[in-house]
Chain A
Amino acid sequence: MNTATNMLNHLTDLTISPRLAKNLRRNIKERIIEFILMLAALSAVFTTFSIVAILLYESFGFFKTVSLVEFFTGTEWTPLFEDAHYGIMPLISGTLTTSLVALALAVPVGTIAAIYLSEFASHKTREITKPILELLVGVPTIAFGYFALLFVTPLLQKIYPDLPGFNMLSAGLVMGVMIVPYIASVAEDAMRAVPMSMREGSYAMGATRFQTALRVVTPAATSGIVAAYILAVSRAVGETMVVAVAAGQQPTLTFNPIDGAATITAYIVQVAMGDLPHGSIGYQSIFAAGLVLFAMTLCFNLIGHVVRKKYREQY
């Protein structure tokens, strides 16, 4: 069965038996298959490499024209205007504001849902609700964009009539609802990893479910819950369609959720919708914006995974 041995046989004994020849053919076939499978696995490495390469390559062209100082400190982002400015801050402020609104909703709701699922819900409730949460994750984001623009915004305008048609508040809120299942499932995962003996210790002292959940399980699962939040930030930052549809496309340096403003993702969509010549500064600008976005999500994802790994090792 060993290729090397067979190869050796092949070399030393040129008149090999049909049986050995069959073995040899079989081994070569096995090696070829293994190689093809390895190529398939390498596609993941290839994809990451290509993403980084393309973002860097096109951004490099961009930064030949635009200085890094202007890029990171400028307060105006108007690459497509006659009077072009290339300060990324307005896009970052839009991205952060929508993400913060989303988290302001998703963190409490997701955490409470996680505690409920892990500590209160019966086995049956959990069996029913978890698939529903999964279904929610599967809903295309463009549908949520429609909902934010044509349902949530008009609804909020009834309460606050001065709210503009495009605003970061409703986009952020809808994005928050989208992220809830994600926080709930990662945080619940962390809570379920807390050993039963710790809960028993608390119940044995006469604690109720709520006391046990709040005073023992949640602190014990802190790192996992924090990981859920960090991974959720990454989701919010990278979310595109809801903000592109509902938050507006005007890059504005503001942290006020009532305003409309473009996020990094919304800007990329806006430019891609137009007809920009390949190689122009406008074309390159979406790659520079994309590079910033990629770096942000990569950071959050890495931190999130490290923190998450910590609780997995803990118990």
Chain B
Amino acid sequence: MVTTSTPLKAESKNLNFYYSNGHQALKSVNMPIYENKITALIGPSGCGKSTFLRCFNRMHDLYPGNKYEGQIVMHPDNTNILAAGVDPIEVRMRISMVFQKPNPFPKTIFENVAYGLRVRDEKNKRVVADKVEEALKGASLWNEVKDRLDDLAFNLSGGQQQRLCIARALATDPEIMLFDEPTSALDPIATANIEELMDELRGKLTILVVTHNMQQAARISDYTAYMYLGEMMEYGDTDTIFTRPVRKETEDYITGKFG
């Protein structure tokens, strides 16, 4: 249940987003993100859920011409991470991301996980090794790769690669982790592994996950938001959304009448 005692980690306020071609992909989106909870974003393709997710670590800044309006406020420091004066790199150091398709770097397993630390100029070998081990354990990959940390990451299976990408994102102790349809490119067994892993991260990490799979949202998330055509249609705790949605559109989507 949404209780006032759960602290807020971030909050989107009247967020509008425009792509460089002028298309408005988000329309005045308001949504809270609670600390150490999993929030799922669902909705039909093109509804803006991935666009919304990618606002959180300013991925849209990589492409010229994209424009944000409104705010995403991080707590406890009350920083609007979309503000012009805030460096996107600083935002990305606080909020990490796991992508739709596993995108390991052309490096060894160890160096993939250590990447964030290298980027942060961590020179202490001991610290790096410990962090890598911790992150790999956190991503339930340690037992499978501990004897071949110097192998190329490309040699791992798809599911392992995705867990490697999760370990890469975990290694820098992010405040929020974004998952952009993390299992859409994986087989059912690998999907189950990732879901289990996310379940283990619950309570330790604030997670925002985009999924096209409603069962997945129902299984793993604490809160669910249903988006449609760039608008936030309904937001609530997952049980309520899936059992007693307020809006007809949400119910239609969830029951498969639409979407």
Contact = CB atoms under 8 A, between A and B. Distances in A.
> Is chain B in direct contact with chain A in the complex (CB below 8 A)?
yes
B8 interface: no
A219 B105 contact: yes
Contacts of A42: none
A246 to B, nearest CB: 41
B231 to A, nearest CB: 26
Interface residues of A, number: 21
A200 interface: yes
Contacts of B92: 203-206
Contacts of B169: 204-205
A211 interface: yes
Nearest to B165: A201
B1 interface: no
A75 interface: no
Contacts of A220: 105-106
Q: Interface size bucket, B side?
A: 20 to 34
A120 to B, nearest CB: 13
A52 to B, nearest CB: 39
Of the candidates B57, B115, B165, B169, the one having the most CB atoms from chain A within 10 angstroms of its own CB is: B115
Contacts of A201: 99, 103-105, 165, 168
Interface string A198-215: 111111111110010001
A307 B3 CA distance: 60
Contacts of B103: 195, 197-198, 200-201
A225 to B, nearest CB: 12
B99 A211 contact: no
B115 A205 contact: yes
A206 B99 contact: no
B224 to A, nearest CB: 24
Interface stretch (B32-40, B116-124, B140-148): B116-124
B1 to A, nearest CB: 32
Given A200-B99, A220-B105, A207 B62 contact: no
A207 B119 contact: yes
B105 A198 contact: yes
A203 B57 CA distance: 9
A258 to B, nearest CB: 41
Nearest to B116: A205
A125 to B, nearest CB: 12
B45 to A, nearest CB: 18
B101 interface: yes
Contacts of A47: none
A202 B115 contact: yes
Contacts of B149: none
Contacts of A2: none
A53 to B, nearest CB: 44
A215 B172 CA distance: 17
Contacts of A195: 103
B85 interface: no
A200 B96 CA distance: 11
Contacts of A200: 59, 62, 99, 103
Most B C-beta atoms less than 10 A away, residue of A201, A206, A207, A219: A206
Contacts of B104: 201
Nearest to A207: B119
B15 interface: no
A205 B96 contact: yes
Contacts of B168: 201, 205
Interface in A185-199: 195, 197-199
Contact of A206 (B64, B93, B165): B93
A203 B59 contact: yes
Contacts of A199: 62
Interface of B: 57, 59, 62, 64, 89-90, 92-93, 96-97, 99, 101, 103-107, 115-116, 118-120, 165, 168-169, 172
Interface of A: 122-123, 195, 197-208, 211, 215-216, 219-220, 222
11 contacts: A198-B106, A200-B103, A205-B169, A205-B172, A206-B90, A206-B116, A207-B115, A207-B119, A211-B119, A219-B105, A220-B105
